[in-house]
Structure 1
Amino acid sequence: MARLRQLAALYGDTFRLPFRRCAVTFTGDPDAIRAIYTAPADCFDVWGVSDTVPVFGSRSLVVTTGERHRRDRRLLAPHFAAASLRAFAGTIAAAAEAAGRRWTPGQRFSMLAAAQAITLDVILQVVFGVRGEERMQRTRAAVLELIASIKPILIVLPFLRREMGGVGPWARSRRAERALNAILQEEIQARRRGGGLGQDILTAMMATRHDEGSAMENAEILDQLRALLFAGHDTTAMALTWAFVWLHREPRVLSRILAELDALGPAPRPEEIEALPYLEAACQEVLRLDPPVVDVARIVRRPFELAGYTIPAGEAVRPALPLVHARPDLYPEPERFRPERFLERQFSPFEYIPFGGGVRRCLGAAFAMVEMKVVLGTLLRGYRLRLATSSPIVPVRRGFTLGPSGDVPMILEGLRVAHEPQRTPEGSP
C-alpha cells in the first residue's frame, strides 16, 4: 500500500506497472474509476480465474463472466439485500455473545482468532443453515480443514495441482473439499425432504428459480456456498479485528459509540444496534483505512480508454483502494481515524470502494456491514476490553486478504453495565 502511494506521488493518479503475466494500470482517480465501473460488463474478463479455482471453484459469481454472471447475480442478489439480511441480526448477535462468554476476565486472548471464530459461525448458521452443536462442530472442523489445506503454493504454481497417489497438498485439499461438500449435500437433501423449510441463505438459494423456471443445480450451489465462505469469512474477520484496534486506540470514538449504544437502553434489539449511524460511520472508516481486499483487477478484452491512455487488450486495469481512499481532496487528514467524515458528506461509489464496484461489486457488501455493526455493538456494550500491546499493528498479507500483523492481543477487563451513562468528551464533534 505504501509502495502504491510512492508511485502515485512520482507518476500521478494513474500509472502502469509490468507484472509477470501482463501489465497492470493502477488508478486512484475517481473519474477513471467511474470509467471502469460504468463500462459494459463485456469489456472485461476476471483477473486470475485459474489461480483462484482452489478457493472459489469454477462456477461461482466471483469467477464467472458474461451472461452466466448476469443471470446468477440476478438470481442471488435479492437474498443479500440489506433489508433481507436484517432478519439474521439476532443470529449474528448470538454468535458474538457466545464468543464473549469464552473470555476470562484479566486474561489475554487473540481478537483475530475470536473474530475469525465469530464470522465462521455466522456463515455456518446464516448461509449454510447448520443447526445443532454436534453438526456445527463437524461442519466447523471440515471448513477449517479446507481452509488450512489451500496452501499459497497451489495458487502460485497450478501445475502442482495433482493428487499424486493421495499425498501432497493438492490431495489433502481435494479430500477436504469432498468432505465439506458431503456435509453440505446432506444439508441440501435434508431441505428437499423437509419441503425446503429453513431460515437461511442456502434454503433461499434452493427455492429461487431462473427466468425459465429452472433451479440451481447442486454442484452450482456448492460452488456458490464455497465462494461465500471464502469471500465472507476472513474478510469480515479482518475488518472486525481492525475495528477493535482502532476503537481501543481512539478513546474519543469509542466513547461516542458507547454513548450511542447506551441511548438504546439496557436491552436493545440487534436490529436497533445495526441501525446506529455513528457505529456505521466507524465501520465505514475502518474499511476506508484498512480494506481487507485490495487486489481487484480486470482484464481488458479490447482496447480501453482510461484517463487519456489506451489500455491494450490483454492488459489489466485496477482501481487502487489505497490511493483513492487516501486522497486529501476527498478525505482531509486521510491518515486520521475520523468516522465523522461519513456523517458530514456522502461519498460516491467511485470515491469509496471497499467492496469494489460496478457489475462485480461484492455481493456480500450489505451482509458484511450488518455483521460488522451487530458484532461490534454487541461486544462493546457487554464487555470492557483493552488492547494488550502498544506495538505498531500494521497491515500484512494473509492469503487473499490484508489483515493486522500478529494475533492482536486483548484483555477482558470485565463485564460492562450496558446502560450506564457515557459522556462524549467536550470538544468532540
Structure 2
Amino acid sequence: MQLLPNLLNKPTFLQRLQWVLDPVGYMESAAQQYPDIFTAQIIGFGNQLAFVNHPQTIQEILTNDRKKFAALGEENRILEPLIGERSVIMLEGDRHRKRRQLVMPSFHGDRMRSYGDLIRNITKKVWEQLPTNQVFTARNVTQDISLQVILQTVFGVHEGEKSQQLKQKMSVMADLFRSPYTSSFLFFPALQKDLGAWSPWGKFIRDRQQLDQLIYAEIAERRGENNPNRIDILSLLMSSQDEAGNPMTDQELRDELMTLLFAGYETTATAMAWALYLIHQNPQVLEKLLAELDTLGESPDPMTIFRLPYLTAVCNETLRFRPVAMLTFPRVVQEPVEMLGHSLEPGTILCGCIYLVHQREDIYPQAKQFKPERFLERQYSPYEFIPFGGGVRRCLGEALAVFEMKLVLATILTNYQLAIADSQPELPRRRGVTLAPARGVKMMITEKRAPKESRIMATV
C-alpha cells in the first residue's frame, strides 16, 4: 500500500466540499498542521493530491519534467468544459512543448510595447464613464478594461457590433462561475447535466455554443482576408506553423483563444481590483506611489511606467498577498523519490501551493501585512514568489498581464482620487479555479486629479 505524505484525516467528501466553498480556510488549517507538504483528497472521490509548500522542493518538482516528475494534462480536465481539450494546458510532453513554441512569440516584449497606448486609452475611456461620488464595484470596472484589452490585443476586434457580441458572451461565460456555489459545477461532474436552458449547466452549454459560433466565424473571416499586416495575437497564431509546416486547426485556435480569455482577462481583472483595494487601504503606499508617478514627464513611454520600481513592488506585493491562482499545474512522480523526509512512489500526484508559499513567515516576515517595500529590500527566487506558476508550464500570458496591470493602475491613480466605500474588509473567495475579492471591492471617485502642472504649481 502506498504511503502518502501527511494525509489529512478528514472524510473525502468534507475535504472536497471545504476546498470548493472555503479554499483559503482549507489550505491554512492544513498548513498549520503540516507546513511543508500534506496530502489532500480533493480532485476526485478517493483521489489524492499532495500540496507542496516548500520553495526549493517546488523548484525541484517543476524543473525536472519528464525525469523524476512529469507534467500531467489529465489532471487539468476540470478546465476542459471552459477551454476545450486541445488547449496548451491540456497537452502533455512533446505536444505541449511544440504548442507552447507556437504560442510564445505572441507575448514577446516588442509585441507588448505596441499594446501600451491601447491599454491606456481603454482605461481612460472606461473610467471617464464613471460618475463622481457614486459607489461602483471596482472588479466590474477592471473586468471591463481587461475584456476590452483581450478583444483588441488577442482577437483584434475593436468597436462595433462584433465587439459588443463577443464582449457580452464572454462576460456571461465568465460570470457563471463567480461564486463558490456555481464553481462547484466544475468540481462535481455529477452536476454537469444539461437539463434544459433554465438549468445552470444547460445554460452554460448554450452560452458556450453561442460564443463558439462567434469565435469560429471570426477565424473563418480572418482566413478569408489573409491580412499580413494585422498584429493581434489571433493573426499571429494563425500564421504560425509547427516543425512540419502545419498551421493550427480551427479547433486548436478556438481552444487557445478560450484559454487566453479565461486565463487572461479574468485573472488580470482580479489582480487589478485587489491592487486598487490594497493601495487605498494603505495610505502610506498610495502616497509613495503617487510621488513616484509624479516624477514622470507628460505622456510617458509605456516601458518607462513598466520599469518604475515602487509600482513594480506594489504589483508584486499584491500578487504575493492576494494571489489569483492557488496551485501550480500538477506533476506526477515518475520514479521512487525522497522528498521532505517522505518516500514517494511513481504515480503520486503533486502540485506547488502558490497561496501557502506566499504566506510563509520564514520567507515573508509579517506575511499577513501588505508591505511592498519587501520587494525593494530583497530579491525573491522564482519559486518563493510564484504567482504565475513555474517551469515549462509557467503562465504564457504573464508579460501581458503584468504590463497591463501596471499601465492601468498608473493611468487610474494619475487621473483620479478614489476612496474605499465599504466598511467590511475585502476577503478572498473562490471564483472558478481562482481567488477573487468576495465583495468585488466597492469604491468611489471622490474627485478627478488636477493635471500634473497644476499640482506642481500649487506646491510652489
Q: Report the CA distance between 1:86 and its aligned residue.
A: 2.2
Q: Please name the residue that 1:250 is paired with.
A: 282
Structure 1 unpaired stretches of 5+: 424-429
Distance in 1 (CA, whole Å) between partners of 2:184 and 2:28 is: 28
Distance in 2 (CA, whole Å) between partners of 1:358 and 1:111 is: 33
Q: Secondary structure at the match of 1:48?
A: helix
Q: Report the CA distance between 1:21 and its aligned residue.
A: 3.7
* Alignment of 1:96 onto 2:128: no
Decide which of 338, 343, 348 is 2:371's aligned counterpart. Answer: 338
Distance in 2 (CA, whole Å) between partners of 1:175 and 1:3 is: 33
Decide which of 397, 418, 430 is 1:397's aligned counterpart. Answer: 430
The Cα RMSD (Å) is 2.3
Q: Report the CA distance between 1:371 and its aligned residue.
A: 0.9
Decide which of 262, 265, 271 is 1:230's aligned counterpart. Answer: 262
Distance 1:310 1:111, change over 3 A: same
Q: Report the CA distance between 1:174 and its aligned residue.
A: 2.9
Distance in 2 (CA, whole Å) between partners of 1:4 and 1:149 is: 25
> Which 10-residue stretch deviates more, 241-250 or 161-170?
161-170
* Contact 1:239/1:292, CA 8 A, preserved across alignment: yes
* Alignment of 1:240 onto 2:264: no
> How does 1:119-138 map onto structure 2 within 5 Å?
119-138=146-165
Q: Please name the residue that 1:111 is paired with.
A: 138
Q: Secondary structure at the match of 1:240?
A: helix
* Alignment of 1:152 onto 2:179: no
Q: Please name the residue that 1:78 is paired with.
A: 105
Q: Report the CA distance between 1:403 and its aligned residue.
A: 0.9
Q: Please name the residue that 2:11 is paired with.
A: none
* Contact 1:5/1:322, CA 8 A, preserved across alignment: no
Distance in 1 (CA, whole Å) between partners of 2:176 and 2:354 is: 29
Provide Cα deviations, 1:148-191, integer angstroms capped at 9, x if missing partner. Answer: 45653542333554545766444433332222222222322333
Distance in 2 (CA, whole Å) between partners of 1:186 and 1:11 is: 51
Q: Secondary structure at the match of 1:414?
A: strand
Q: Report the CA distance between 1:62 and its aligned residue.
A: 1.6
Structure 2 unpaired stretches of 5+: 1-23
> Which 10-residue stretch deviates more, 164-173 or 74-83?
164-173
Q: Report the CA distance between 1:367 and its aligned residue.
A: 1.2
Q: Please name the residue that 1:188 is paired with.
A: 219
> Which 10-residue stretch deviates more, 398-407 or 6-15?
6-15
Q: Report the CA distance between 1:252 and its aligned residue.
A: 1.3
Distance in 2 (CA, whole Å) between partners of 1:396 and 1:171 is: 25
> How does 1:12-411 map onto structure 2 within 5 Å?
12-19=35-42, 20-41=45-66, 43-46=70-73, 48-148=75-175, 151-163=182-194, 168-196=199-227, 197-302=229-334, 303-411=336-444
> Which 10-residue stretch deviates more, 187-196 or 98-107?
187-196
Q: Please name the residue that 1:426 is paired with.
A: none
Distance in 1 (CA, whole Å) between partners of 2:74 and 2:367 is: 29
TM-score computed with the length of structure 1 as normaliser: 0.92
Distance 1:129 1:110, change over 3 A: same
Distance in 1 (CA, whole Å) between partners of 2:455 and 2:361 is: 32
For 1:205, give the aligned amino acid: L
* Contact 2:138/2:441, CA 8 A, preserved across alignment: yes
For 2:57, give the aligned amino acid: A
Distance 1:106 1:168, change over 3 A: closer
* Alignment of 1:4 onto 2:37: no
Distance 1:312 1:388, change over 3 A: same
Q: Report the CA distance between 1:405 and its aligned residue.
A: 1.7
For 1:195, give the aligned amino acid: N
For 1:23, give the aligned amino acid: Q
Q: Secondary structure at the match of 1:329?
A: coil
For 1:235, give the aligned amino acid: T
Q: Secondary structure at the match of 2:444?
A: strand
* Contact 1:263/1:419, CA 8 A, preserved across alignment: no
Distance 1:152 1:324, change over 3 A: closer
Distance in 1 (CA, whole Å) between partners of 2:194 and 2:219 is: 28
> Which 10-residue stretch deviates more, 16-25 or 211-220?
16-25
* Contact 2:71/2:93, CA 8 A, preserved across alignment: no
For 1:17, give the aligned amino acid: A
> Which 10-residue stretch deviates more, 297-306 or 366-375?
297-306
Distance in 2 (CA, whole Å) between partners of 1:233 and 1:60 is: 16
Distance 1:60 1:253, change over 3 A: same
Distance in 2 (CA, whole Å) between partners of 1:173 and 1:281 is: 39
Distance in 1 (CA, whole Å) between partners of 2:35 and 2:192 is: 40
* Contact 1:77/1:363, CA 8 A, preserved across alignment: yes
Q: Report the CA distance between 1:125 and its aligned residue.
A: 0.9
Provide Cα deviations, 1:8-35, integer angstroms capped at 9, x if missing partner. Answer: 3333422223443422222221121111
Distance in 1 (CA, whole Å) between partners of 2:86 and 2:320 is: 30
Distance in 2 (CA, whole Å) between partners of 1:334 and 1:163 is: 44
Provide Cα deviations, 1:339-367, integer angstroms capped at 9, x if missing partner. Answer: 12222222111111111101111111111
Distance 1:420 1:339, change over 3 A: farther
